[in-house]
Structure 1
Amino acid sequence: MGLFYSKISRSAKMASSPEIQKFIKDAVSQEKVVVFSKSYCPYCHMAKEVFQKVKQPIKVYELDQLDDGSAIQDQLVSVTGFRTVPQVFINGNCIGGGTDVKALYDSGKLGSMLIG
């Protein structure tokens, strides 16, 4: 979607819940910022636009474009406690969704979270 977005991943169909949980754990630990998104979601667009404004590269997984996107979204509930998208992770920690990212940006707290 922009210069600072890493390639949107497409993954092979994963067979089991443990496999999907491992995928999520690995995904959020390998990148500074990971966004589990849906391409048509306005809150997802809001979150991605904030990172574009601050010129922060992000890894985006568009769940509606992945063969196992629904299964990944189902497993995210066990990780974060919620099923809605976006689910945004910084340094392996879920910071919430689109409005949360926007609020952190507006308050000036997002920048310090991205350092280090």
Structure 2
Amino acid sequence: MSGPTANYVKEVISKDMVVIFSKSYCPYCQLAKEVFHNMKKNCTIIELDHREDGDKIQSVLREMTGAKTVPRVFINGVCVGGGTDVKELYERGELEKMLVAK
């Protein structure tokens, strides 16, 4: 996987502990963002519907993760899934452990 869009996605994921690729109108995206907001955890949020290259980014994410939907949430460079996945990790107490700086 290469090209400017793939390189952009990889760079964004590598620069912050938590990165959420989202669409502003998506309820599952909102769910994921709320979990981190409630935890008072800063994260990078890329709103794909606000970008001209949003479809290209989503295609790269699909290739990377196997999932075609958003949100795609990355913690320490690893995709942990979408909105319901993040909420379940939080409810099981696992999300806080994942957010320890490496």
Band the TM-score falls in, shorter-chain normalisation: over 0.9
- What residue is the counterpart of 1:67 in the other structure? 52
Q: Shift in Å at residue 19 of structure 1?
A: 0.7
Q: Shift in Å at residue 79 of structure 1?
A: 0.7
Note the residue ranges of structure 1 that are not aligned, 5 or more in a row: 1-16
Distance in 2, Cα, partners of 1:110 & 1:53: 12
Note the residue ranges of structure 2 that are not aligned, 5 or more in a row: none
- What residue is the counterpart of 2:18 in the other structure? 33
Q: Shift in Å at residue 78 of structure 1?
A: 1.1
Q: Shift in Å at residue 95 of structure 1?
A: 0.2
Aligned residue identity for 1:27 = V
Report the TM-score when normalising by structure 1. 0.84
For each residue in 1:20-43, what CA deviation from the matched residue of structure 2 results, as whole angstroms up to 9, or x when unmatched?
110010000000000000000000
Q: CA RMSD in A?
A: 0.8
Aligned counterparts, 1:6-85, within 5 A: 18-85=3-70
SS at match of 1:94: strand
- What residue is the counterpart of 1:95 in the other structure? 80
Which consecutive aligned stretches of 4+ in structure 1 deviate over 6 angstroms post-superposition?
none
Distance in 2, Cα, partners of 1:88 & 1:103: 13
Report the TM-score when normalising by structure 2. 0.96
Which of 64, 67, 89 matches 1:104?
A: 89
- What residue is the counterpart of 1:5 in the other structure? none
Aligned residue identity for 2:56 = A
SS at match of 1:25: helix
Distance in 2, Cα, partners of 1:79 & 1:56: 25
Give the count of matched residue pairs.
100
Q: Percent identity, aligned pairs only?
A: 52
